């Protein structure tokens, strides 16, 4: 029997014992994770794997999880978005997420979205990745081909490259890498 849903598995590094929490968000898969404000922060997708039923939920959720006590919150950061495939934390502790071509900033303490920027038109895409360099600049791979650079200090973004890619990585020194299947590209910004 196939079902929708996903687990959050927490492994105790000292004992190597795993604790499985299921479901985390009703009928949604956990597709991105980060840590901020003393909580595990996760993004979900309304979709499951290849053989699961059609989605029963209409919007992806952002959740906070306290290791000792369980789910702390659950919110919809981007209405209508089907997935939140990327999360990063900036130097001020804000969680930045990517959903449906939109970059959003979430304040864990207040549980509020404090900033939004539309990087690309509503995409309907469930794919995407975020990365951050040492200077604090955030990079987003949107629609599997658009790489944007975003400066949280000035709240400005720019398109870096339009190149088919499935993955994004940024070295702390700012070097940008994308990959398309088995081909790795180094991108020069600027």
pLDDT category, 51, cuts 50, 70, 90? low
Is the pLDDT score of 1 beyond 60?
Answer: no
Q: What is the pLDDT of residues 53-85, one digit of tens each?
A: 888 999 999 999 999 898 999 999 999 999 999
Summarised one tens digit per residue, pLDDT across range 6-38 is: 889 999 999 999 999 998 999 999 999 999 999
- For residue 123, what pLDDT is reported? 67
Give dist(CA 110, CA 32) in Å, integer: 21
Is the pLDDT at 96 greater than 90, yes or no? yes
Give CA–CA dist 77/95, Å, rounded: 11
Q: What is the pLDDT of residue 155?
A: 92
- Of the candidate ranges 37-41, 96-100, 132-136, 172-176, the one whose mean pLDDT is the lowest: 172-176
Facing residues of 146 across strands?
A: 142, 162
pTM for the predicted model, two decimal places: 0.92
Q: What is the DSSP letter of 49?
A: -
Per residue in 106-135, pLDDT tens?
999 999 999 999 998 866 777 899 999 999
Reported as a pLDDT band with limits 50, 70 and 90, residue 189 is low
């Amino acid at each position: 029997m196939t079902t929708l849903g996903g687990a959050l598995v927490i492994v105790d590094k000292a004992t190597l014992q795993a604790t499985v929490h299921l479901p985390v968000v009703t009928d949604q898969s956990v597709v991105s994770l980060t840590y901020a404000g003393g909580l595990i922060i996760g993004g979900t997708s309304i979709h499951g794997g290849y053989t699961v039923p059609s989605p029963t939920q209409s919007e992806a959720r952002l959740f906070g999880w306290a290791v000792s006590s369980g789910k702390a919150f659950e919110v919809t950061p981007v209405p209508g978005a089907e997935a939140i495939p990327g999360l990063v934390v900036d130097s001020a502790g804000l969680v930045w997420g990517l959903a449906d071509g939109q970059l959003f900033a979430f304040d864990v303490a207040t549980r509020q979205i404090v900033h939004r920027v539309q990087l690309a038109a509503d995409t309907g895409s469930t794919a995407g990745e975020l990365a951050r360099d040492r200077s604090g600049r955030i990079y987003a791979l949107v629609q599997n081909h658009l790489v944007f650079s975003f400066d949280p200090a000035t709240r400005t973004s720019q398109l870096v490259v339009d190149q088919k890619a499935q993955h994004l990585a940024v070295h702390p020194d700012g070097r940008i890498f994308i990959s398309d299947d088995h081909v790795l590209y180094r991108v020069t910004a600027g």
